[in-house]
Each structure stands twice: as C-alpha cells, then as structure tokens.
Chain A
Amino acid sequence: MRGRVRRGAGKTAALLLGVLALAGACGGGAESHPVGQRDTVTFAEGPGSAPNYIFPITPTQQFTTFTIQQFQYLMYRPLYFAPKGDQPVIDDALSLADEPVYSQNNTVVTVNLKTTYQWSDGEPVDARDVVFSLNLFKAAIKESPANFGNYSPGEIPDNLASYTATGKYQVTFTLTRSVNPEWFTTEQLELLTPLPLAWDKTSATGPRGDYDLTPAGAKQVYDFLAGQAANLSTYATNPLWQVVDGPWRLTSYSPTGQLTMAANPRYGGPYKPAIPNFEELPFTSEAAEFNEVRAGTIDIGYVPPDDFPQLAAIKRGGYQVVAVPQFFIGYLNMNFNNPAAGPVFKQLYLRQALQHLVDQPAIIRGVYSGYAIPAYGPVPVGPPNPYASALEKRGTYPYSLAAARQLLASHGWSVIPGGVDTCLNPGPAADQCGPGVARGAKLEFTIDYANAIQPTATQVSAMKSDAARVGIQLDLRGAPFNTILAQDSACTPGQSACAWQMSDFGGIQMSTYPTGDVLFETGGALNSGGYSDPTADKLIEATLYGNDPNALTAYEDYIARKLPVIFQPDPDYVAVVKSDLATEGTFTALTQANLQPERWHFTS
C-alpha cells in the first residue's frame, strides 16, 4: 500500500462565484456563453496545502493529495486513474489505458493505451510517452530517492527488468518476479503518468529530441524539468506545462496556490468540461475556509470536524452536504524499540487491552457528531470497498474497561484504578507479564500527539481518561503536527531518537490497494514503531507477490488480531456543494480527494 499523511484534519475546498456556460454537459464550447451566465467554478484547497509542484515526477516533500489528485491529475492524466467515484478502485473509463494483461505467471504485463487521447499540441498519447516517463522516473530516483514521493526501494521501477514499446499504443513490462496483479495494477502502474515528448528537452530554448533514451540524457532532461518546476511563478506561462492530456490546462497560478484552469478542447476522455473555467482558492486554515462556506461565497468547500454541529445551518445556507468515510486509518502508534515501553508493547495482551480502551462509539458521537465509523483493523470499512473483511466489519476488540482490566489482571499486573499498575508476576507463562517485562515494571506511557488537530487531541484525552480507570497512566504531550511526525520515526533501542513511546498524528490516507508493505512490514517506511512479525511479513509478501485472491483478507485479519497499532475511528470527509451545482455521477467523489470539475454543471 502506499499512504499519504493526512495534513491537518480536513482537506478540500470551495468554489468561488462562478457561472455557467451551458446547462447540459457537453464538450468543448468554451467560446460562446451568453452574457451573465456563470463561466467559472471555484474550489477551495485544503488548509495551508496549496498545490506547489506541477511536474508529475513529484518529490517527497510536495507529494500530497492536493498537489497530485487535485492539481496535476486535472492536467496530466495518470495511466490508471483511481479512485472510481468514492470507491478505492481503478476507474477504467478515466484511465489512459485498458486493463493490463498479465501473462507468463504474472511476470509480463501488457498495457494497451486507448487511442482517443492526445496531447494538446496534437500529438497522440502513446507508448513512447510511457517509456519517456519511466526513463525520467528512473533518472530521478537514481539522483535521489526523495525525488519521487511514492518510490519504495525494490518497487517500481526497480522491479521492471525491461519496459518496451511493443506497438504504437502498447507497452510491455517484463518484471523481475511474479506479482499479484491486483497490487501491481493499483499500486505500481497507477504511479505512472505518461509525459509528453514535447518535454524531451534539456533546455528551454534547445531543440527537443530523444535525450531520454540514454541514462545521462534522461538525467539532463529530468534536471531541466525539475528546475522549471521549481519556478512557481512561471507555471501558467511556461509553454512546457501547457502541453496537457487532461481536461484542463493552467491559465493562471499564484505561488500562494490561487489558480485558474480552462477547458482543454483536445481532451480525449469522457466528460468534457461544461463549465469552461475552474478556479482553486488557497486557505491558510480550516477556519478561514469554513468562514467562506458560512458566508456562502463558495461553491464547493468542506466542513472541518469541529464544525460538524453546524451542518444543519450550512444546509439551510444553500449547500448540499456530502459525507462519506475517508479511505483512511486513524491510529495510535507504539514504539516497540523504546527501551522502557518496548518490551511491554510487545505483549499482545497489553495491545489488546489498549484497543479495548478506545471508546469508539463515544468518540464517533462526541468528536465527530456521528460522522465517522468504527475501525478495528488495517483496511477501512468505508467507503464501501472490495477489500474490508468480515472480521474487520464485525470488529475485534471493542470498547470494554472490563475486558481490559481482565487482560491485565490475568497477566500478572496489579490493577489499581487511578494509580499505576505494576508487574507482580514476571515471566513468560500465559498468566505472567510476558518475556522481557521485569517485576515492578509500570504501565506508564507518554503519548505525543498533534495538538492542532482537535479530534486527535480529544481522542487521546479520552483514552487517557479511560486508561486511568484500569491503572494505565498515559502522559500526554501535545506538539505541532510536523514535530510529532519528525520524532515519530523508526529507531533502535540505544538511540536518543527512540525516546518516544506512543504517538498520534491522526492517521494515514490509504491508497487504492490497502496492503501493509510500508505500514507493518519489517522495515517498512511507515512502520515507525518498528513492529516486526515474520508471519505478518509473509502475509504481506503474499498480497504483493502471491497468487491467492484471499491474501489480502488473510493479511488484514491477522493484523486486526495482532494490533501493531491501536486503531481509532475513521472520520467522514464532509464536502459541501452549492445547491445549484450538479455533477455526472455523484459528488461523493469529492470525499476521496477525487476532483473532476469537468463533470460539473450549474443548474440555474
């Protein structure tokens, strides 16, 4: 799986006053609009997260949903488009290629591009563009692994033995090993965005050529393009970026994130823009954004969890409200390598007890006004998706102080409500504290949490309160989100960086195929707690490289039972849309950062 950290609590946006061109959806006609009709639809960006990188080979620090899905995808379509509406699966209709064909025991993948797409300079989107993008991709990560946000060592492009254009519209990938097709399509091929050959240049004034065909040339091209992308003020004027295959092209861009796009008349996919112009507005905070929603000056915005109680008023103010759970797992991290707490965290019964202390129903009611669903495992149950297992939907360790108390008491701990439990019966037997836990060890942990996110602050406070009732003392330390992120890192017991014990920065936005290679596999990039379990590793490997269609279920059920992290409820994303705006399909796509203004039209 690949994840994106949720920055802040919510994300999305609002539209300014715009006006409509043609009532029905239909293509192209951006030229003739009756005077007085709205021809711009505007959309609010997430708080403090203006899109700030236009080149699709995006470095780690700019790799956010705001920059990728809500900016780049509008202009440069990925090879495989996900999600489909609000579902975390590939949307075949919006993908540049037909479903890939796997052969030779899943070691060869053939991708056939659709012939309907073309670049706005008139050239077709074809196999050569895919090869070009891969050449640059390889050059980029060779220069620095931080040059592509979702690159994992050993995964694409490292796992490609070769990639060749075997036809004008056909690319054949030969892999270094057999893969699980579902994973490879949704997590590996989805990362590829074909790039126009008009970008095969090493300088702004120089001629274009096939520079990318040699590694040295590819590096030059990549360096040139990355250099151009560092110049934000030229995003809308640089002719390079005007070559697009998506439904939109950039017409103005301010480095603060205020930007406008116009319909690309040569867009070859479904849903031609009905509203000729699209505008995104930046906001410095959720409060600033919500003020615009409250004032009704925005066509499409979002409601932060703090303001859920005001949804009724928002509806009266002329908005339709769309609320769907995010494809997100919220969790509380434990540091298995912390010298003091690590040995205790390694005891399954303790993690079970901690999970029993998360009062999900109360949090959903009190923190999210009901706009959230319980979560007990590594695959979100909502939005409806083909991945969540029956066990996850049922739940493993529900809120129960009695169960938590019983687990501790039966494993040799003195249970002192309001005090601090100590281990009275050390040893590895089933009724003892467990291996590595000494006599007199205390159940006292520090939680570092992101205090600017009120739902997180509330949840850890509630958990502290419940934990105290069974004698687990949780000390809270709030800090800004990025401070938490910086210290929540994998470490070895001797290091000073291993001082953190528990940490809560919200959670992780899951990408399409929710396996656990980076989250829970030994050494995974997101496995900051240092969880290491050979069985889990094997089950995860099977979801990536195995052939068993049930591999994902086996993995998620195992993790849901073993609790490498403490799971927290999965909040809804609440989008608000002006009542006079309609869309092909439903607006619930907005809840999954799936932004397709080409499908919208005004009804009045």
Chain B
Amino acid sequence: MTSYLLRRMGQTLVVLLGVSVIVFALTHLLPGGPARAILGIRATPAAIAAFNHANGYDTPVYLQYFSYLSSLLHGDLGFSYTQNQSVASLLAQDIPKSAYLSLLALVISIVVGLPLGIAQAVRRNRFLDYAVTTGAFLGYSMPVFWLGLLLITWFAVDLSLLPPEAPQTATLAGALADPAAMVLPVAALAIVSIASFSRFMRSAAIENLAQDYIRTARAKGLTERTILARHLLRNALLPIITLIGLSIPALVAGNLVVEQVFNYPGVGLLFFNAALRRDYPVEIALTLLGSALVVVGNLVADLAYGVADPRVRLA
C-alpha cells in the first residue's frame, strides 16, 4: 500500500510536470505573445519592449519556464496583468463560488441519479427502465449550454419565475443569500449529471445483480428488498466514490459552460474571460490547477475504491 501510494504520487508529479511543460510551451512558443493583447492597441513598441522585459518575456523560453516553476514551488501562481491582481487572490475569490455550484449539483445528481439507476437495474427492460433510459440519453446528448438557454427562456423569460442569471456577487456569501438565482444553473448542471450518473449506476447494478453472492442470497431465500438493501446499496458505495472522485475537478475548477451561460462569476468564467483576453498567467495557473485536480480526483477514487472493496487490490 505504501509503495503503491509512493508510486502514484511519483506518477502524479510527472504528470503535473508534463502538463506544465505543455501549457507553458503553448503560451510562449507561439508568435505574437501576450504584450499587445494585454497593453492594448495603443501600446508603443517601446512600451511592448518594456513590458516584455519586465515580465521576462525577452529571455529564452526554458529560463522563463524554470523561473515560473520556481515561483510555483514557492506558492506563487503568477499575476494577472489585466486584472492587476495575483492569480492566487482571483482563485481565492472564485473557488468557493464554483465549489458551491458544483457541490449542489453533485449532491442532487447523486441523490436522484443513483436510486434511478438501481431502480432501472431491478426493473430491467420494463417501462421504468425504458423511460429513464430515454431520459438519460436525452440528458447526456443535450448540449448543456442549450439546456441553459431553454431553462432561461422557459423559467425566466416566459414564466418570470426565476432570475435569468446566477447571483452577480463577489463573495460566496452573496451567492448563498440568493438561492433563487442558483436554481437554474444548478438545474442545468444536475440534469446532465443525473443522466450519466443513473446510466452508470444502472450498469454497475446490473453487473452486481449478476454476481454470485446475490445469487447466493436469492438462493438463501432472502427477499428482494433485503437483498437490495443489504447488498446492492452497499455495493453502490463504489460508484458513488468513483463519481465523487471524478467530480472533484468540477467542484473546484467549476463548470465553464454553465458559468458562462448564467454569468456565474466562478473559476470557469474566470478562465473563459482570461482566454478571451489572453491573460496567460491566469490561463496557465487554472489549467495546471485543473490537471492537478483531475489527477488527485482519480487517485482519491482509486484509493477509496481499494478501501471500500477488499477485492480490489492496490498493487
């Protein structure tokens, strides 16, 4: 177990190092550079040269990379020129909001999606299964931005029931204070997730139901209800863990599309705006952060899997 952990950590580091090389190369090897986009059209050549010098863009790329890496190791994520703020402070501002949105959606998706999947597995090939399957297919074939637009059209424009956009607030407290405005963004995210969660749970449960111990339990004459409660639900723990692990990136990095559609000032929108403005320090930092979360999320899921299911050996 320890050696497994060490090896996984080592791999994680390699992966993150690789990501940083890729992202850094992307921003720095391509022509143009950020100076003009950041300084604006009125920037004189002298101003551009001064900007490049001040930010080290006139040194060889590998030197820039090493200096970036070293400041990264010192906890410095960089500085956003256009926003006149450190990337760390931008993240501190937006991560809680993104996490709030994603967490709400995740909880709803699990609470709704998993029971749906189990119900489908139990009533396989009956009406419920077909109905939910159809819904699930629709859900995960649906472009989430279009779903968002439809929700806005129906519930904000036509019915005037809910605000058309997420809370426009700088702080998490502001978002918490305006639950009505969270309904549509959370719904858009959750609908899509419920679709894939239920689908996932359905196949996991079907596999489970076919397992020997369930057959044994049946043979022992246990009622279906007991079997469901005792075996299936316990085994449903694994998919839940997996899903949570896989959702960790979204928890922090936000959901770019939903945040864009509903103008929710989270990490996703931060990245989107940075991409529009070529705010490279923000783009690099967020991409790295996102990758780190993916890696950590996978690791957490695998570890938890190993703990929860003794049959899975981590070696």
Residues on A lying within 8 angstroms of B by beta carbon are 2-5, 48, 50, 52-53, 60-63, 144-147, 149-153, 229-230, 232-233, 254-256, 258, 281-285, 287-288, 291-292, 295, 452, 480-483, 485-489, 496-497, 505, 508, 518, 525-526, 528
A50 / chain B contacts, CB cutoff of 8 Å: 83
Asked if A288 meets B83 with Cβ closer than 8 Å, knowing A153-B44, A256-B170, the reply is: no
In angstroms, how far is the closest chain A Cβ from the Cβ of B188? Answer: 16
In angstroms, how far is the closest chain B Cβ from the Cβ of A81? Answer: 22
Name 19 interchain pairs, CB-CB below 8 A, sorted by A.
A2-B42, A3-B42, A48-B273, A60-B40, A144-B51, A145-B46, A145-B50, A146-B39, A146-B47, A146-B48, A255-B90, A284-B168, A284-B265, A288-B263, A291-B164, A291-B165, A482-B37, A486-B32, A525-B44
A5 touches B40 (CB 8 A): yes
A5 touches B263 (CB 8 A): no
A148 (CB) vs chain B CBs: closest residue: B47
Q: In the bound complex, what is the Cα–Cα distance between A288 and B167 (angstroms)?
A: 10
Asked if A482 meets B277 with Cβ closer than 8 Å, knowing A61-B81, A145-B50, A146-B51, the reply is: yes
Residue B28 at the chain A interface, CB threshold 8 Å: no
**Which single member of A62, A144, A281, A282 contacts B47 (CB below 8 Å)?**
A144
Asked if A230 meets B36 with Cβ closer than 8 Å, knowing A145-B44, A526-B42, the reply is: no
B263 touches A61 (CB 8 A): no
In angstroms, how far is the closest chain B Cβ from the Cβ of A230? Answer: 6
Q: In the bound complex, what is the Cα–Cα distance between A486 and B263 (angstroms)?
A: 26
Asked if A281 meets B41 with Cβ closer than 8 Å, knowing A61-B81, A487-B32, the reply is: no
CB within 8 Å of A: which B2-40 residues: 31-34, 36-40
CB within 8 Å of A: which B146-176 residues: 163-165, 168, 170-171
Asked if A525 meets B263 with Cβ closer than 8 Å, knowing A255-B93, A485-B36, A485-B37, the reply is: no
Residue B82 at the chain A interface, CB threshold 8 Å: yes
Q: In the bound complex, what is the Cα–Cα distance between A127 and B26 (angstroms)?
A: 51
Chain B CB within 10 Å — which of A151, A233, A482, A528 has the most?
A482
**Which single member of B41, B44, B54, B269 contacts A485 (CB below 8 Å)?**
B41
In angstroms, how far is the closest chain B Cβ from the Cβ of A505? Answer: 7
B273 (CB) vs chain A CBs: closest residue: A48
Q: In the bound complex, what is the Cα–Cα distance between A153 and B276 (angstroms)?
A: 30
A146 touches B43 (CB 8 A): yes
**Which single member of A48, A258, A525 contacts B42 (CB below 8 Å)?**
A525
A256 / chain B contacts, CB cutoff of 8 Å: 93, 170, 265
B265 (CB) vs chain A CBs: closest residue: A284
In angstroms, how far is the closest chain B Cβ from the Cβ of A300? Answer: 16
**Which single member of A152, A291, A497 contacts B31 (CB below 8 Å)?**
A497
Q: In the bound complex, what is the Cα–Cα distance between A256 and B89 (angstroms)?
A: 11
Chain B CB within 10 Å — which of A53, A146, A258, A452 has the most?
A146
A144 touches B168 (CB 8 A): no
**Known contacts A254-B171, A256-B93; 9 further A-B pairs (Cβ under 8 A):** A2-B42, A60-B47, A145-B47, A229-B84, A232-B85, A255-B170, A283-B168, A284-B265, A480-B275
B31 / chain A contacts, CB cutoff of 8 Å: 496-497
CB within 8 Å of A: which B37-95 residues: 37-44, 46-48, 50-51, 53-54, 81-85, 89-90, 93
Residue B278 at the chain A interface, CB threshold 8 Å: yes
B40 touches A153 (CB 8 A): no
**Which single member of B37, B171, B265 contacts A486 (CB below 8 Å)?**
B37
A281 (CB) vs chain B CBs: closest residue: B168
In angstroms, how far is the closest chain B Cβ from the Cβ of A267? Answer: 27
A497 touches B32 (CB 8 A): yes
In angstroms, how far is the closest chain A Cβ from the Cβ of B87? Answer: 12
Asked if A255 meets B89 with Cβ closer than 8 Å, knowing A281-B168, A482-B277, the reply is: yes
B156 (CB) vs chain A CBs: closest residue: A291
Chain A CB within 10 Å — which of B38, B44, B46, B276 has the most?
B44
In angstroms, how far is the closest chain B Cβ from the Cβ of A210? Answer: 28
Chain B CB within 10 Å — which of A60, A152, A497 has the most?
A60
In angstroms, how far is the closest chain A Cβ from the Cβ of B284? Answer: 16
B163 / chain A contacts, CB cutoff of 8 Å: 291, 295
- What mask results when residues 171 to 196 of chain B are scored 1 for a CB within 8 Å of chain A, else 0? 10000000000000000000000000
B42 touches A60 (CB 8 A): yes
B44 touches A284 (CB 8 A): no
**Shortest 4 CB-CB distances between A and B: which pairs?**
A144-B50, A146-B47, A486-B37, A256-B170
A53 / chain B contacts, CB cutoff of 8 Å: 84
Q: In the bound complex, what is the Cα–Cα distance between A146 and B42 (angstroms)?
A: 10
**Which single member of A149, A152, A230 contacts B84 (CB below 8 Å)?**
A230
B166 (CB) vs chain A CBs: closest residue: A288
B36 (CB) vs chain A CBs: closest residue: A486
B54 / chain A contacts, CB cutoff of 8 Å: 144, 146
In angstroms, how far is the closest chain B Cβ from the Cβ of A333? Answer: 10
B165 / chain A contacts, CB cutoff of 8 Å: 287-288, 291
Q: In the bound complex, what is the Cα–Cα distance between A5 and B51 (angstroms)?
A: 19
CB within 8 Å of A: which B230-272 residues: 263, 265, 269
In angstroms, how far is the closest chain A Cβ from the Cβ of B107? Answer: 26
A489 touches B36 (CB 8 A): yes
In angstroms, how far is the closest chain A Cβ from the Cβ of B202? Answer: 38
Q: In the bound complex, what is the Cα–Cα distance between A528 and B36 (angstroms)?
A: 12
**Which single member of B32, B82, B170 contacts A61 (CB below 8 Å)?**
B82
A526 touches B39 (CB 8 A): no
In angstroms, how far is the closest chain B Cβ from the Cβ of A400? Answer: 31
A63 / chain B contacts, CB cutoff of 8 Å: 40, 42
CB within 8 Å of A: which B122-136 residues: none
A229 / chain B contacts, CB cutoff of 8 Å: 84
**Which single member of B51, B171, B276 contacts A482 (CB below 8 Å)?**
B276
In angstroms, how far is the closest chain B Cβ from the Cβ of A1? Answer: 11
Asked if A452 meets B276 with Cβ closer than 8 Å, knowing A149-B42, A485-B41, A525-B42, the reply is: yes
B85 / chain A contacts, CB cutoff of 8 Å: 52, 232, 255
B41 touches A288 (CB 8 A): no
In angstroms, how far is the closest chain B Cβ from the Cβ of A334? Answer: 15
A52 touches B265 (CB 8 A): no
**Which single member of A5, A48, A483 contacts B278 (CB below 8 Å)?**
A483
A283 / chain B contacts, CB cutoff of 8 Å: 168, 263
Asked if A483 meets B41 with Cβ closer than 8 Å, knowing A52-B84, A144-B47, the reply is: no
B83 touches A255 (CB 8 A): yes
B86 (CB) vs chain A CBs: closest residue: A230
B39 / chain A contacts, CB cutoff of 8 Å: 60-61, 146
B36 / chain A contacts, CB cutoff of 8 Å: 485-486, 489
B168 (CB) vs chain A CBs: closest residue: A288
Q: In the bound complex, what is the Cα–Cα distance between A469 and B294 (angstroms)?
A: 53
